[in-house]
Amino acid sequence: MSTAEIQPAPTTADVPELVVGFDLDMTLIDSRPGIQAVWDLLAAETGVPIDSDLVVSRLGPPLTIEMANWFPPEQIDAMVVRYREHYPSHAITGSLPLPGAAESLAAVRALRGRTMVVSAKYTPSVLLHMQHLGLDIDEPVGDLHGAQKGTALREHKATIYVGDHTADIEGARAAGAVAVAVATGPFTADELRAYGADVVLNDLTEFPAWLDAYVLEQRLEALMKRLSGYDKMVVAFSGGADSAFLLAAAVRAIGPANVVAATAISPSLPAAELEPAARFADSLGVRHLTPHTHEMDREGYQANAGDRCYFCKAELVETLQPIADEFGITAIATGTNADDAIAGFRPGIRAAFERGALTPLKDARLTKAQIREASRSWGLETSDKPAAACLSSRIAYGIRITPNLLARVDRAEEVVRSRLTPYGVQNVRVRDLGDAASIEIDGDLLDRVDHEPLIAAVVAEGFPAARLDPRGFRSGSMNERLKDPEKYR
């Protein structure tokens, strides 16, 4: 298959995309000082006695409603215009992010979700606040209040809405979203709860932990529902954290007697991976098979261009298919996760998809971090296992892959790891660049260990030269060396 034909696999999901909406005033930001300054300015200009303390104690409703408390109907529109003219110069710099605001937005990002602000505030003012405070929002929406907010939330498929006001609860209800209330505005936690909030938090500092737990629960439920739909399953089990978790989940869903773990043996599998994989499968009580794959016989694999993984994964799935047929199994699943699906270079995902392989972790939108967290809660020994990509990923693109090169990398990594074991090393990569080896270790070890013995040990395994990468370990760092990476995205 030509490179031009290799495209990313289609996106499928068993759970909706995570989209979280936030109210602005007294949810994400404390805008009271700036707003009060604008109202005081209006009072000075018009001579109307305005109790700005009272105004900022009840933020939430549209501006026109508050204006009606101080000006006659025929003046309201003009006062709104004047208010908005003053707002950029007097209200923006006086506002501050509430505790936990930036962390809450980051928590959504970490879960591969999108964020939006839905506020009663004038949309240009919303944008000014976001820009001034450096709060990264995907979609800002203004001029909506109460149940009207549900329109924007539905349009952007928001599943959660966070606010401090009872009107925000109405907006969440109107959109069918989970109503998360924070008691940082005019209502107490008890009042918000009584009004019907699904979740009540003291403030946004509690939101990231709640969100992590809630989303993980939703995604695990989706995973188990998907797996329970199969009578039997073959799991492509590399021994890594992802496929180990998938294997354990399949056992929970349909029982060990209905699950087969298959660990492919080839020159690209690090020798140290096989025994732990066998032990893990045995601990689950599943049948563990070790078929030999022959990706080295495929020209596209040996040529080692940016699409190498396509040919490797094709070989794997085509090797597992006869095994599945032998046991009367129609489902072959890989440990591809949600992070893999958006990574820059994953042609193997397409190869597996074309051959009918399933990706239950990806379909449940489970990220690598979530898989590790769930693995810890299940007591799986693989929860903190370092990433262990196949040995071919250590060979620079364009260098023809041979069993000897893979074996040399494997030996070099083992000797480096053994020397760094007393330091608690997690990640070791020896990258074959052709004229030299690049040694990658955990960044925090670079200044703690003597480089020369590591370099000498790698050279002793047959490399002409070696050096430590000062940037430390980086997963997929070989992809940085592709001359035309867009061909393989």
Q: What is the pLDDT of residue 273?
A: 86
First and final C-alpha spacing in the chain = 16
Name the β-bridge partners of 428.
441
Average pLDDT of the residues in 173-180: 98
Q: What is the pLDDT of residue 487?
A: 52
**Which position has the higher pLDDT, 343 or 51?**
51
Q: What is the pLDDT of residue 344?
A: 54
Cβ pair 277, 287 in contact under 8 A: no
* Residue 69 CB partners (closer than 8 Å, separation 6+): none
Cβ pair 446, 362 in contact under 8 A: no
Mean pLDDT over each residue of the chain, to the nearest integer: 92
Q: Give long-range contacts, CB 8 A cutoff, 24+ apart: 404-413.
A: 405/432, 406/267, 406/268, 407/267, 408/432, 408/461, 408/462, 408/463, 410/270, 410/271, 411/461, 411/462, 412/437, 412/457, 412/458, 412/461, 412/463, 413/270
The closest of 89, 24, 22, 26 to 55, measured between CA atoms, is 26
Average pLDDT of the residues in 352-373: 95
Average pLDDT of the residues in 22-44: 94
Average pLDDT of the residues in 386-406: 89
Q: What is the pLDDT of residue 482?
A: 60
**Tens digit of pLDDT for each residue in 58-111?**
988 889 999 999 999 999 999 999 999 999 999 999 899 999 999 999 999 999
Q: What is the dihedral of CA 296, 299, 302, 307, to 10 degrees?
A: -110
Which pLDDT band holds residue 395 (cuts at 50, 70, 90)?
Answer: very high
Average pLDDT of the residues in 176-180: 98
CA–CA gap between residue 313 and residue 31 (Å, rounded): 54
pTM for the predicted model, two decimal places: 0.85
